[in-house]
C-alpha cells in the first residue's frame, strides 16, 4: 500500500515536471520569431541597422581603387600631378561614402522613411544616364539593397538626401519625386570603375 502511494506521488511529480518543461518550451518558440522580424522588416531595420557594414562589403576598398587608377592609361606616367589627382579622387570617394552612410544613420534616428538623389556640387554626367535627381528610394529598399547608396563610381557627385515631408522639392527635382524602382529589382547602376574627373579638374 505504501509503495502504491509513493508510486502515485512520483508519477504526479513527473507529470508536473513534464507539463512545466512543455510550457517553457512553447514560450521560447513564441519569442524566437519576434527577434527574426526585427531583421526582416524594413520598419524595424530603420532603427536597428546601419547600412555601413553591408555597403563596405560591396564597394571597392581604397587600395583596389588606387590599383585600378594606377593601371589606367591616363595615370600610367604616375607623375606628381597624376598621383595627386588619384589621391583627390580617393579622398572624395571616401568622403562621399561616409557622408551618405552618416545621412542614413541620422535619418534612422529621425525616423526618415524616404531619401531622394541629388548631385552636389555639380551634376554627374555618368549617373544622369541611370537616374535623375529627385528619384527616391525607401529606407526598406536601402535595407534590402545597400548598393543603391552613392557613390556609385569614381568621381561620383551623387548623394542621398533625407525627405522629412516638409521640404520644398521644386528646386531639388526635375519632374517631381519618382521612385528609382518599383519592383524588387534595383535598376542597373554605374560601374564603379567609370571615372568622372569633372569635379577634380
> Which helix (H) or strand (E) segment is 117 a member of?
strand 114-119
For residue 99, what is its C-alpha cell?
Answer: 557622408
Sorted by sequence, the CB contacts under 8 Å of residue 119 that are 6+ apart come out as: 127, 133, 157, 158, 159
Residue 162's pLDDT is what?
93
Predicted confidence at residue 78, as pLDDT, reads 58
Q: Residue 133 is placed in which grid cell?
A: 535627381
Q: Tens of pLDDT along the chain (201 residues)?
A: 778 888 888 888 888 888 888 787 755 444 444 433 344 444 544 446 899 999 999 999 999 999 999 888 666 665 677 888 899 999 999 999 999 999 999 999 998 999 999 998 889 999 998 988 888 999 999 999 999 999 999 999 999 999 887 665 555 555 567 888 888 888 899 999 999 876 444
Q: What is the C-alpha to C-alpha distance for residues 99 and 96, in angstroms, rounded to an integer?
A: 5
pLDDT value at residue 165:
74
Return the domain boundaries, the chain: 1-40, 51-179
Query: DSSP letter string over 123-176?
Result: --TTGGGT--TTEEEEHHHHHH-GGGSSP-SBT--EEEEEE-S-S-TTTT-SSS
The answer to whether the beta carbons of residues 116 and 172 sit under 8 Å apart is yes
User: What's the confidence (pLDDT) of residue 61?
Assistant: 95
pLDDT for the residue numbered 83: 84
The CB-based long-range contact list for 70-75 (8 Å cut-off, 24+ gap) reads 72/195
- State the angle between helix axes of 62-71 and 80-110 in degrees (0 to 180), rounded to the nearest 10: 150
- Please tell me the predicted confidence (pLDDT) of residue 80: 72
Amino acid at each position: 500500500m505504501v509503495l502504491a502511494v509513493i508510486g502515485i506521488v512520483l508519477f504526479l511529480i513527473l507529470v508536473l515536471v513534464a507539463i512545466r518543461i512543455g510550457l517553457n518550451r512553447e514560450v521560447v518558440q513564441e519569442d524566437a520569431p519576434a527577434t527574426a522580424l526585427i531583421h526582416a522588416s524594413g520598419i524595424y531595420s530603420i532603427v536597428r541597422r546601419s547600412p555601413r557594414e553591408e555597403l563596405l562589403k560591396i564597394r571597392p576598398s581604397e587600395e583596389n581603387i588606387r590599383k585600378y587608377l594606377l593601371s589606367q592609361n591616363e595615370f600610367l606616367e604616375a607623375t606628381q600631378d597624376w598621383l595627386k589627382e588619384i589621391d583627390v579622387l580617393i579622398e572624395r570617394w571616401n568622403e562621399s561614402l561616409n557622408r551618405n552612410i552618416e545621412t542614413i544613420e541620422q535619418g534612422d534616428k529621425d525616423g526618415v522613411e524616404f531619401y531622394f538623389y541629388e548631385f552636389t556640387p555639380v551634376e554627374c554626367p555618368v549617373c544622369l544616364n541611370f537616374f535623375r535627381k529627385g528619384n527616391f528610394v525607401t529606407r526598406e529598399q536601402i535595407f534590402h539593397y545597400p548598393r543603391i547608396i552613392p557613390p556609385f563610381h569614381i568621381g561620383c557627385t551623387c548623394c542621398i538626401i533625407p525627405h522629412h515631408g516638409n521640404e520644398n522639392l521644386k528646386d531639388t527635382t526635375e519632374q517631381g519625386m519618382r521612385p528609382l524602382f518599383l519592383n524588387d529589382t534595383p535598376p542597373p547602376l554605374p560601374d564603379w570603375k567609370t571615372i568622372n574627373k569633372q569635379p577634380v579638374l
